Structure 1
Amino acid sequence: MLILPAVTVDRVLANLDLNLLVTLDALLRERNVTRSAEALGVSQPAVSAALARLRRHFGDPLLARTGNRYELTPLAAQLLALTGPALAGVRRVFDVTPDFDPTTIEREFTVITSDYAATEVGPLLARRLGELAPGARLRLQQTTPYTVDHAADTLRTADGLFLPHGFLTDFPYLDLYQDRWVCIVSSDNEVVGDALTLEHLATLPWVVLYNLRTAFAPAAQQLRLLGIEPRVEVVADGFLPMPFLVAGTRRVALLQERLAKRLAAPAGVRILPCPFDVVPLAEAFWWHPIYRHDPAHAWLRGVLESVGRELSAPVMSPIAETPLPDSPAAPR
């Protein structure tokens, strides 16, 4: 990796107009000067002039004509992955004020999350933001194995990540709530009676999430330590479809109890305890240390702490008449 001296970096920045970054982002996404001008609310000649400056700066055409349309050059394709995070970083710099007032903030908070965490935390968080900071926006962006495997890069370009413990270390976090892993089977599954056995888990077909080694839930990893390798029949990219992929089949799946309770009736599945001492799920909000002293981010963490307290209120379990464990929000 080429590391430029600080003086060189300062000279580069001094010779650039930050508006070019906004135009570059629009051009790379729209791949069309006219549409970019419309998106930016400026004239087409202004965008054409900016494109000419960008081409000179990068020594690359950026947009190459192919037939009746333009395609990104290899360099432009690399830049496309950088412009969004760069703009987000610039906006965060200029969002910082000495006296933070949530009622006047105009900022988009981006949280990377699974569909499960978005379902559990998202509604409460969106409601609190709407009440306390009407000018703020919340973006819930779907997580992928790549975003977790490259957490350092992910957390630099987003405000945080909803993720259970067991995947990340060495990042600050805020505990939100706890949940249980349960098993689900179709309501009409005649192979399984009132309880699942380890033999069932070893022989029945499975619905799993992602099916990548680094994406396995701790409960699934625990199952493998018991010598049981799930016979995968369906792979899903989210938790929400899993009950519907189990319904009407002999399949089994691991699911968070909170989500299973929401979806069991509409999907037509039964919730059963795992036939092994399954590790609990501890959901947390993870963020990058660069945001530790960001006033808006600190306020967001405070809002999430109150959301976590609400979610940690005891909930009666349908499979064991005991409350789900509390998880008092605790920043680290």
Structure 2
Amino acid sequence: MQLRNFDLNLLLPLRALLEEKSVTRAAERMHMSQPALSAALARLRRHFNDELLERRGNSFQLTPLAQQLLDLTYAATAGVERVFTAQAEFDPATSTREFSIYGSDYVTAVLGPSLLDVLSEAAPNVRLRFRPMTGAVVADAPDSVRDDDGVLMPHGFLTGLEHLDLFVDRWVCMVDGDNSEVGDTIVLEQLAAMPWISTYSGISEYTPPMKQLQLLGVEPQVKLVSNSFTVLPYLLADSNRVAFVQEALGKQLTTHSAGMRIIDVPFDVVPLTEALWWHPVHTLERDHVWFRSMLRKAVLRAGLTPAPPRRPS
């Protein structure tokens, strides 16, 4: 189908209908009359040859196709907004731009507060959106981040994207403070015998020290897998369990969650270098260049260890 044959004015009504699942609510949101929005729905149904909204009792539900379209409309409207809000110059003081990035709760916790501070000082009307990291984002990159401002993630997972190294961190072990089986240090034999809380587990979802542990011949006894680092104190409390955590976050968690301890890992763990990864289409955008500079400032504000400058290739 040729794009010129489709009425792009239907894109926003489509998103409103799919999100609200109600002609009445969608009409109110779009500031349109109900007959006008009903006519738009009829045109959309003819175009897609699908009901999109199906009545179930006293409410409407999305059809399987409509459910797919819902995610696509997010990307489409974000792309359209980027096109028509692009400017030759970027003025942070007056901008109402929303910057959207993917990241784990680790990077949100250690960098998020300082990033909010530096953004608020330089651009009081700018908004920040952290999207949860998923395996699909990594597997489908760079297409998955084309319409967002990037991914905050360590090296070793993403390819085909531009990147800016931000800060370095190291891995440590975390245990409950009353765990009598562990002293000030820990050895490989103990890690082999202790029950584990693992953060992320999959082909593209894993923590490097867990992989290294397996390469050393230790198969950890994983009792639970979590896609969250900040819940570790709750999962380790009052137990002999152990988990790997990034040192910067571990220090935060032991400060705010009394009773936790962090201990050096008993083998040489490859340190992590956290970076912002983005689609090349954003490299020269003035607002994106500015945002990257704010990330550098946030790293210093947060007291993290800045990544060394990249050597020229």
Tell me the TM-score normalized by structure 2. Answer: 0.94
Counterpart selection for 2:187 from 188, 194, 197:
197
Counterpart selection for 1:151 from 106, 128, 141:
141
Q: What is the CA–CA distance in structure 1 between the aligned matches of 2:222 and 2:295, rounded to whole Å?
A: 36
Equivalent position amino acid for 1:42 in 2: M
Pair 1:26-2:16 in alignment:
yes
Pair 1:299-2:290 in alignment:
yes
Question: Does the residue aligned with 2:142 lie in a helix, a strand or coil?
Answer: helix
Q: What is the CA–CA distance in structure 1 between the aligned matches of 2:209 and 2:239, rounded to whole Å?
A: 22
Question: Does the residue aligned with 1:173 lie in a helix, a strand or coil?
Answer: strand
Q: Deviations over 1:102-132 (max 9, x none)?
A: 2222211101010110111111111122111
Counterpart of 1:67 in structure 2 is 57
Most deviating of 278-287 and 55-64: 55-64
Q: What is the CA–CA distance in structure 1 between the aligned matches of 2:265 and 2:304, rounded to whole Å?
A: 23
CA contact (8 A) 2:114 2:299 kept: no
Counterpart selection for 1:114 from 100, 104, 121:
104
Question: Does the residue aligned with 1:196 lie in a helix, a strand or coil?
Answer: coil
How far off is 1:237 after superposition? 2.0
In the alignment of these two chains, the number of paired residues is: 311
Counterpart of 1:283 in structure 2 is 274
Pair 1:327-2:286 in alignment:
no
Pair 1:136-2:126 in alignment:
yes
Q: What is the CA–CA distance in structure 1 between the aligned matches of 2:287 and 2:198, rounded to whole Å?
A: 37
CA contact (8 A) 1:176 1:312 kept: no
Q: What is the CA–CA distance in structure 1 between the aligned matches of 2:210 and 2:83, rounded to whole Å?
A: 41
Question: C-alpha root-mean-square deviation of aligned residues, in Å?
Answer: 1.8
How far off is 1:38 after superposition? 2.4
- Shift in alpha-carbon separation, 1:125–1:313, aligned structure 2, 3 A: closer
Counterpart of 1:272 in structure 2 is 263
Question: Does the residue aligned with 1:213 lie in a helix, a strand or coil?
Answer: coil
CA contact (8 A) 1:196 1:272 kept: yes
Q: What is the CA–CA distance in structure 1 between the aligned matches of 2:140 and 2:218, rounded to whole Å?
A: 29
Most deviating of 151-160 and 269-278: 151-160
CA contact (8 A) 2:142 2:160 kept: no
Q: What is the CA–CA distance in structure 1 between the aligned matches of 2:135 and 2:263, rounded to whole Å?
A: 27
How far off is 1:330 after superposition? 4.8
Equivalent position amino acid for 1:178 in 2: V
- Shift in alpha-carbon separation, 1:76–1:331, aligned structure 2, 3 A: farther
Q: What is the CA–CA distance in structure 2 between the aligned matches of 1:145 and 1:214, rounded to whole Å?
A: 6
Equivalent position amino acid for 1:296 in 2: D
How much identity, in percent, do the aligned residues show?
Answer: 48
How far off is 1:329 after superposition? 5.5
How far off is 1:135 after superposition? 2.1
Q: Deviations over 1:165-190 (max 9, x none)?
A: 11112311111111110001111111
- Shift in alpha-carbon separation, 1:329–1:155, aligned structure 2, 3 A: farther
CA contact (8 A) 1:103 1:133 kept: yes
Counterpart of 1:216 in structure 2 is 206
Equivalent position amino acid for 2:223 in 1: E
Question: Does the residue aligned with 2:185 lie in a helix, a strand or coil?
Answer: coil
Counterpart of 2:219 in structure 1 is 229
How far off is 1:73 after superposition? 1.6
Counterpart selection for 1:45 from 35, 38, 59:
35
Q: What is the CA–CA distance in structure 2 between the aligned matches of 1:244 and 1:50, rounded to whole Å?
A: 50
- Where does structure 1 lack aligned partners over 5 or more consecutive residues? 315-325
Q: What is the CA–CA distance in structure 1 between the aligned matches of 2:31 and 2:244, rounded to whole Å?
A: 49
